[in-house]
Amino acid sequence: MKIKVKEAESLVESILKKRGVENPSIIAKHFVEAELRGHYSHGLQRVIPLVKGIDLGTIRKTVQLTEIKREDNAVLYDANYSIGILVWHYLTESPKETLIAVRNSSHIGFLGYYTRRIAMRLGKPAIMIGNAEPAVVKPGTAKKIISTTPISIAIPCEKIVVLDMSLSPIARGKIIEAKRKGEKIPYGVTVNKDGEITTDPDEALQGGLLPIGGMKGFFLMITLELLVSFLTGSALATEVQGVLDTTKSPNKGEFMIILPRLQSDCHGLSVLKQFVEYLPGEHSDEMLKRDEIDIDEKLYNIFVKLEAEEQFNWTQNE
Amino acid sequence: MKIKVKEAESLVESILKKRGVENPSIIAKHFVEAELRGHYSHGLQRVIPLVKGIDLGTIRKTVQLTEIKREDNAVLYDANYSIGILVWHYLTESPKETLIAVRNSSHIGFLGYYTRRIAMRLGKPAIMIGNAEPAVVKPGTAKKIISTTPISIAIPCEKIVVLDMSLSPIARGKIIEAKRKGEKIPYGVTVNKDGEITTDPDEALQGGLLPIGGMKGFFLMITLELLVSFLTGSALATEVQGVLDTTKSPNKGEFMIILPRLQSDCHGLSVLKQFVEYLPGEHSDEMLKRDEIDIDEKLYNIFVKLEAEEQFNWTQNE
């Protein structure tokens, strides 16, 4: 079903407001923007685990940031299970640091939101990398070891270029979608419970995702996980919990590097434009202009219930 | 044929010394270390284009760095066609900045050398990214657009973890090797002159490499190229020249980000060790212990000639 952007925003805002969540409109707008930009895996469906965590007390309603360490021009915070979207929205308001690291916040939404914000507000490029629960296997095996390793890079040219992706070839949401539609998954991106490549969504859900680029991508991903954990003191790999499954509190981490405007040379945009139809972020900017979104009817009905009943019965209704 | 490490080093050093190159032993040791660590594409074979560039005057014998800009804790240099290995060896001696950007240096060897050096000397993690001549196509097309996008990340734990790779699934050198041995290339990593996937080395040499991870990898790579060019003011994509083909002066760029020791949490090493036999860099550290290297006889003979004749006839002998 289709609903107006404004309706989606106020529905989510109202669900959060009734639960005493700080600044609910920032969160509602974030999820709707993710949906509009086509980051469906980070869109409205993520309202459910967030509200569940709040109801269960694994996620805080109000932000509480503890500064753990400052060094040079960098800062590390413990978010004490605060809502990740609020934490990073505040931290990217007008940062003075060149590196910001956070651990123990809940799901932070889509990373491109924050790197684009830095590019817009400070006119500086930014790189952001995080981790989450394991979803990706080492090629040839079946055990999920590493997260899909989200990464975003924004470059402030006359048009802001924003890369926002994971390092797995497809999102878990795409497998669930293929299952619902009775379709096959593209060859070479998922494995079954024995670690063999499969195109069957049911088998893939029992196995896991492959990294992009085989063992090379795998090594890139574990290095990035290790870097996240090194800088933030977060859990990593199989230790991470509480991001999608919010019955537990989150223990992941992420960091943002804010780069200087040294040469600020954007002639590359026109060079690349000869070869690619869309630069990273361009397609997403166009999609943002819609005033309606497609929402799964089942998801919409849960939203309506969550809005009506402050004491939602999670074990019965999910 | 096999030669002793010491012999390889002094042969290369002598070739460079006879040409009046600054600090030849640093360069010789770098190429030999690349060879020992298994970075063959960045090893001894790279002596040839370097010496050729020096003989032709497209590469300077002595380092000349111009500081273009300082901002916050970052610095940008123009290397004025100085030897990249010397430039970055000097810049990573004891840097005070958190971002170092360079344009117009010649080939800088293997990036892991410099990130490892930062991890060892400063005890800080480092990320380094550069560009070079185009070698990788947009999937589905045949025109080489972007470089293989070398990237290195070092993390200073009790054992320093060093990732050092390109974002193409195989190096061009591997295709040439497959051709020599009459072997096929693995499926899905190269295309022919019509942009179709090929496993034939001859066809691949007329086409190009694919990025890792299809269009996702492609977008990651063009974003990194754009970032390099944005920060350094270098050429990018199809504009880049003079890196491997040194008949022209180099116009590429690269940058290093030096990260702080915030939490410096290395518990992740033991978590990851349950799942992977070698962490990034570990295998390369073991290979470094050899005291002999395998060198192509043809390459060795060119070295002997280069060492004997200061006026090597490049058009006749290459």
CB of A122 closer than 8 Å to CB of A100: no
User: Are the Cβ atoms of B271 and A236 closer than 8 angstroms?
Assistant: yes
Q: Of A82, A186, A145, which is closest to residue B215 (Cα–Cα)? A: A186
Instruction: Say yes or no for a CB contact (<8 Å) between A280 and B219.
Output: yes
How many residues can be counted in chain B? 318
Residue B137 lies in a domain: yes
Contact of A271 with chain B, judged by CB distance below 8 Å, is answered with yes
pLDDT in tens, B139-175: 999 999 999 999 999 999 999 999 999 999 887 778 8
pLDDT over 70 at A318, yes or no: no
**Which string of DSSP letters, residue by residue, matches chain B?**
-EEEHHHHHHHHHHHHHHTT-SSHHHHHHHHHHHHHTT-GGGSGGGHHHHHHHHHHTSS-SS---EEEEEETTEEEEE-TT--HHHHHHHHTSS---SEEEEES------THHHHHHHHHHH---EEEEE--S--EEPTT--SEEE---EEEEEEESSSEEEEEEESSSS-HHHHHHHHHHTPPPPTTSEE-TTS-B---HHHHHHSEEPPTTHHHHHHHHHHHHHHHHHHH----GGG--SSSSTTS----EEEEEEPP-SS---THHHHHHTT-SS-TTHHHHHHTT-SEEE--HHHHHHHHHHHH-SS--HHHH-
Cβ atoms of A229 and A131 within 8 Å: the answer is yes
CB B170 within 8 A of CB A213: no
pLDDT in tens, B59-97: 999 999 999 999 889 999 999 999 999 999 999 999 999
| Domain assignment present for A189 | no
B213 compared with B234, residue with greater pLDDT: B234
Which residue reads 């002998």 in tokens?
A: B317
For A153, phi and psi rounded to 5 degrees?
-135, 125
Q: A219 and B280 in contact by Cβ < 8 A?
A: yes
C-alpha distance from B185 to closest chain A C-alpha (Å): 15
The alpha carbon of residue B190 is apart from the nearest alpha carbon of chain A, in Å, by: 13
Mutate to test the interface with B, among A133, A240, A265 (most CBs of B within 10 A): A265
Are the CB atoms for B76 and B115 separated by under 8 Å? no
- B276 in any annotated domain: no
Q: pLDDT for A183-198, tens place per residue?
A: 999 888 999 999 999 9
Question: Under a CB-based contact definition with an 8 Å cutoff, are residues A263 and B231 in contact?
Answer: yes
CB distance from A270 to chain B under 8 Å? no
- The answer to whether position B271 is within a domain reads no
CB-based contact, A217 to chain B, within 8 Å: yes
Percent of chain A with pLDDT over 90: 88
Q: pLDDT tens digits for B286-300? A: 999 999 999 989 999
Closest residue in B to A67 (Cα–Cα): B262
Instruction: Give bridge partners of residue A127 from the DSSP assignment.
Output: A153, A257
Query: Is B197 in CB contact (< 8 Å) with chain A?
Result: no
Q: Do B265 and A227 touch (CB under 8 A)?
A: no
Determine the Cα–Cα distance for residues A164 and A117; give it in Å rounded to an integer. 13
Q: Given an 8 Å threshold on Cβ–Cβ distance, is A214 in contact with B219? A: no
Confidence band of A40 (pLDDT split at 50, 70, 90)? confident
Cα-Cα-Cα-Cα dihedral sign, residues B162, B168, B170, B173: negative
Considering only CB atoms, A153 lies closest to which of B157, B161, B227, namely B227
Asked, for residue A316, whether it belongs to a domain, the answer is no
Say if CB A203 and CB A192 are below 8 A apart.
yes
CB atoms A213 and B264 under 8 Å: no
Write the CB contacts of A54 (distance below 8 Å, at least 6 apart in sequence): A16, A19, A21, A61
Q: Which of A125, A257, A262 sits opposite B76 (nearest CB)?
A: A262
Kindly list the residues from chain A whose CB atom is less than 8 angstroms away from the CB atom of residue B76. Answer: 262-263
Chain B, window 4-23: residues with a beta carbon less than 8 angstroms from a chain A beta carbon: none
Q: How many CB pairs under 8 A join A and B?
A: 212
A208 in B contact zone (CB under 8 Å): no
Interface membership of B151 toward A (CB under 8 Å): yes
Q: By residue range, what is the domain housing residue A57?
A: 2-168+211-262+281-308
Residue with tokens 């890369």: A163
Which of B230, B261, B264 best probes binding to A when mutated, by most A CB atoms within 10 angstroms?
B230
Is A109 within the bounds of a domain? yes
The per-residue pLDDT for B318 is 58
**Structure confidence at residue B316 (pLDDT):** 64
Q: Are B236 and A266 in contact (CB under 8 A)?
A: no
**Does any domain span residue A317?**
no
Structural domains in chain B (count)? 1
Determine, yes or no, domain membership for A192.
no
CATH number at residue B110: 3.30.1370.60
Q: How far apart are the first and last CA of chain A?
A: 20
Band (A317; pLDDT cuts 50, 70, 90): low
- Model confidence at A278, in pLDDT bands (50, 70, 90)? very high
- Take residue A112 and report the two structure tokens written for it: 């491109």
